[in-house]
Amino acid sequence: MKTVFVSIIIFLIMSCKFNDKEDRFTIHSDKIMEDKAFPKKAWWKEAVVYQIYPRSFKDSNGDGIGDIQGIISKLDYLDRLGVDVVWLSPHFDSPNADNGYDIRDYRKVMEEFGTMADFDQMLAGLKQRGIKLIIDLVVNHSSDEHEWFKQSMSSKDNPYRDYYIWKSGKDGKEPNNWPSFFGGSAWEQAGPDGEYYLHYFAKKQPDLNWENPKLREEVYDLMRFWLDKGVDGFRMDVIALISKQQGFKDMDSIGLQHPEFTYAYGPRLHEFLKEMNQKVLSNYDVMTVGEAFGGTPEMTMELTDERNEEIDLAFWFDVARIGRDNWYQNDWSLTEFKKLVKEQCDVNYYNWPTIFLTNHDNPRTVSKFGDDSPEFREPSAKLLAMLLLTQRGTPFLYQGDEIGMTNFPFASFDQFDDVEIKGNYAKVLASGISPETYLEELNQSGRDHARTPMQWSDEDQAGFTSGDTSWLAINPNYTRINVKDNLEDPNSIFHFYRKLLDIRQDNEGLIYGDYQDIAPEHPNIFAYTRTGAKATYLVILNMSSSQDALELNSSYTDYQLVIANQAVENKLLNNTSLKLGPWEGRLYQKNNTYHENIKN
């Protein structure tokens, strides 16, 4: 009897364990346990983040380079838009080999951007307006001009030697065949001893050696330095790359096509992040979002599984980079896109997704996902706003999206500034690709599209700078596409974003509600529901430049229109056959609790 009893208990314990494991990689909607019906609340789940690329946001002193005083002059603008958090791309002292993603001094503000006093003023100004600030933590690598690297390079016996990764060459060549993302080998010979240092990115971005506990303590210290100032967290640059495969074995030809699969998710990644969390992050109420490319969804989810106590959020690149193979942009279909969105939404209960369509490394949202022709730019930009702000996950909006800024028409290579494009040029051409083809692809995929200056007005230099040039050319369409016009026109993309932001903030169901794609096979229309405790929302988006129709099942009648990007005659959805114009998008809500008080 006793053994039977014990066996039952063991069986029960085992099955709980099994369920627990199951739960990690199945969807969050494990409704069996009541307390898991909806996600646990957190401010960073409810927040909408706005990314500022400081170099291109607003110049205050006429040198053609955006700066912190420029940002300060636009705080009311951000407040008006209604975002909750700003993610500031690197603002630290840097020789700008990669626009600040190569840091020379982690405790100093880039001279071109201003001073620490400017930074403090900006932080205070944001706080006054109830906006939080997260900064970019770039600690996979530093600049080669960082004092640590100068010391490290100076001799094999220098105490800073092991802050970086040095190896001796093989047969008079690099230690292995690893490539840099920015062209050429990932190894560079330097210093008096003839050794090579590792750099996954540019030569001027040597990788830090996370195996060294002293280096890790330095990183934790600099994190505390900024957190103690009152910043609200970090976006962590290529964080999945910090732990290196210690074997340093050659890659095979497949590996060479996608080095990120070798570089990301090294053996000690989780250990390092847990340590960082325990020693630093757990002592502050902050949000962290890691740039996590190079892994499977399961690998990424391990980083953000709250039970693991590592980081809160991760950027998966599958949606934003759909159809991309390095710099090459293949065709993609909406059904594929929907599958990827669903995959991200369906993380388990212990994870929370992000949603973003671009950032400073990608083409403009409306050019990639919408239709940037004069006819459809506005409706498609608004539709994409609806998509971004009605998803399950923390949305990240990139500067300029809110006015529908488009890709730049690059006509020659000398118009690019990007270290990635310059670095890869020789390799791409050597592989037999013509410069015309490369240019054509870069016109879809290049990173500089997102980096052209913000278009504030139709004045000279788009109101970005009072000088006569800017560091990167301004898109010639600034006379048509700019903030000033957007602010004046109540039907502009800006005001549409603003209303949607209000709606999201006022409707918890749009934040925490369940996600369901109700027409996964439709080739042009993206239709889904978000089911919250109080209401169900129905989002219908025609993501094409032609008319299309959608048959809804009868359970979707009696929904009330909340907002649409085009005039809709009947505010009550009482017809199961819907016809939608090109790029037409509608957001409905189940009747009883529909949103009546959209602020204007």
Residue 239 contact partner, candidates Ca ion, ligand TEU, none, CB within 5 to 8 A by sort of partner: none
The burial of 343, by beta-carbon neighbours within 10 Å (0-12 exposed, 13-18 middle, 19 or more buried), is given as: middle
Q: Per rule CB under 6 A, is residue 420 in the interface with ligand TEU? A: yes
| Side-chain half-sphere exposure of 517, counting CA atoms within 13 A | 21
x/- track of binding to ligand TEU for residues 333-372 (CB under 6 A)? ---------------------------xx-----------
Q: Per rule CB under 6 A, is residue 441 in the interface with ligand TEU? A: no
Nearer to ligand TEU, 242 or 527 (CB): 242
154 CA to centre of own chain: 37
| Rounded Cα–Cα distance for residues 155 and 178 (Å) | 24
Map the footprint of ligand TEU across residues 461-490, applying CB under 6 A: none
Residue 144 contact partner, candidates Ca ion, ligand TEU, none, CB within 5 to 8 A by sort of partner: none
99: alpha, beta or left? (left if phi > 0; alpha if psi -120 to 50): left
Least Å from the CB of residue 456 to Ca ion: 14
Nearer to Ca ion, 471 or 583 (CB): 471
Q: Per rule CB under 6 A, is residue 418 in the interface with ligand TEU? A: no
Residue 59 contact partner, candidates Ca ion, ligand TEU, none, CB within 5 to 8 A by sort of partner: Ca ion
Nearer to ligand TEU, 377 or 451 (CB): 451
Residues in the chain, overall count: 600
Least Å from the CB of residue 217 to Ca ion: 35
Question: Strand runs (DSSP E) across 335-488, as ranges?
Answer: 354-356, 394-398
Phi–psi pair at 258, nearest 5 degrees: -135, 75
Helix %, strand %, coil % of the chain (to 5): 40, 15, 45
| Rounded Cα–Cα distance for residues 536 and 338 (Å) | 20
The burial of 330, by beta-carbon neighbours within 10 Å (0-12 exposed, 13-18 middle, 19 or more buried), is given as: exposed
Nearer to ligand TEU, 142 or 486 (CB): 142
Least Å from the CB of residue 64 to ligand TEU: 20
| Rounded Cα–Cα distance for residues 366 and 447 (Å) | 15
Q: What is the dihedral of CA 115, 118, 124, 129, to 10 degrees?
A: -140
Map the footprint of ligand TEU across residues 493-512, applying CB under 6 A: none
| Rounded Cα–Cα distance for residues 213 and 145 (Å) | 22
Least Å from the CB of residue 227 to ligand TEU: 21
Residue 61 contact partner, candidates Ca ion, ligand TEU, none, CB within 5 to 8 A by sort of partner: Ca ion
Cβ-proximal residue to Ca ion, closest one: 67
Nearer to Ca ion, 57 or 317 (CB): 57
Nearer to Ca ion, 67 or 136 (CB): 67
Asked whether 87 and 98 are in contact (CB, 8 A), the reply is no
Q: Per rule CB under 6 A, is residue 101 in the interface with ligand TEU? A: yes
Least Å from the CB of residue 200 to ligand TEU: 8
Residue 584 contact partner, candidates ligand TEU, Ca ion, none, CB within 5 to 8 A by sort of partner: none
Residues recognised as catalytic: 237, 291
Asked whether 180 and 200 are in contact (CB, 8 A), the reply is yes
What's the 3-state SS for 495-564? HHHHHHHHHHHHCHHHHHCEEEECCCCCCCEEEEEEECCCCEEEEEEECCCCCEEEECCHHHCCEEEEEE
Residue 101 contact partner, candidates ligand TEU, Ca ion, none, CB within 5 to 8 A by sort of partner: ligand TEU
Least Å from the CB of residue 61 to Ca ion: 5
The end-to-end CA distance of the chain, in Å, is: 72
Nearer to ligand TEU, 91 or 338 (CB): 91
Residue 98 contact partner, candidates ligand TEU, Ca ion, none, CB within 5 to 8 A by sort of partner: ligand TEU
Q: Per rule CB under 6 A, is residue 87 in the interface with ligand TEU? A: no
Tell me the β-bridge partners of 50: 86, 397
Least Å from the CB of residue 582 to ligand TEU: 31
Mapped onto helix, strand or coil, the DSSP state of residue 187 is: strand
Nearer to ligand TEU, 101 or 515 (CB): 101
Residue 382 contact partner, candidates ligand TEU, Ca ion, none, CB within 5 to 8 A by sort of partner: none
Tell me the β-bridge partners of 325: 328
Tokens 């996608």: give the residue.
Answer: 258
Q: Per rule CB under 6 A, is residue 238 in the interface with ligand TEU? A: yes
Residue 188 contact partner, candidates ligand TEU, Ca ion, none, CB within 5 to 8 A by sort of partner: none
Nearer to ligand TEU, 233 or 582 (CB): 233
The amino acid that residue 408 corresponds to is F
Position among 98, 118, 188, 312 found at the interface with ligand TEU (CB under 6 A) = 98
Q: Per rule CB under 6 A, is residue 456 in the interface with ligand TEU? A: no
Q: Per rule CB under 6 A, is residue 201 in the interface with ligand TEU? A: yes
Q: Per rule CB under 6 A, is residue 293 in the interface with ligand TEU? A: yes
Least Å from the CB of residue 66 to Ca ion: 6
Indicate if the alpha-carbon torsion angle 30, 32, 36, 39 is positive or negative. Answer: positive
96, 343, 327, 70: which is closest to 205 by C-alpha?
A: 96
Tell me the β-bridge partners of 526: 541
The site for Ca ion (CB under 5 A) is made up of: 59, 61, 63, 65, 67
Nearer to ligand TEU, 304 or 359 (CB): 359
Q: Per rule CB under 6 A, is residue 181 in the interface with ligand TEU? A: yes
**Who's near 310: CB < 8 A, 6+ residues apart?**
270, 273, 274, 276, 277, 302, 303, 304
**Who's near 272: CB < 8 A, 6+ residues apart?**
210, 216, 242, 243
Phi–psi pair at 92, nearest 5 degrees: -90, 160
Q: How many helices (H) and strands (E) does the chain have?
A: 19, 23
Q: Per rule CB under 6 A, is residue 237 in the interface with ligand TEU? A: yes
Least Å from the CB of residue 457 to Ca ion: 17
Q: Per rule CB under 6 A, is residue 138 in the interface with ligand TEU? A: yes
Residue 420 contact partner, candidates Ca ion, ligand TEU, none, CB within 5 to 8 A by sort of partner: ligand TEU
The amino acid that residue 188 corresponds to is E
Q: Which residues bind ligand TEU (CB under 6 A)?
A: 98, 101, 138, 181, 201, 237-238, 291, 293, 360-361, 420
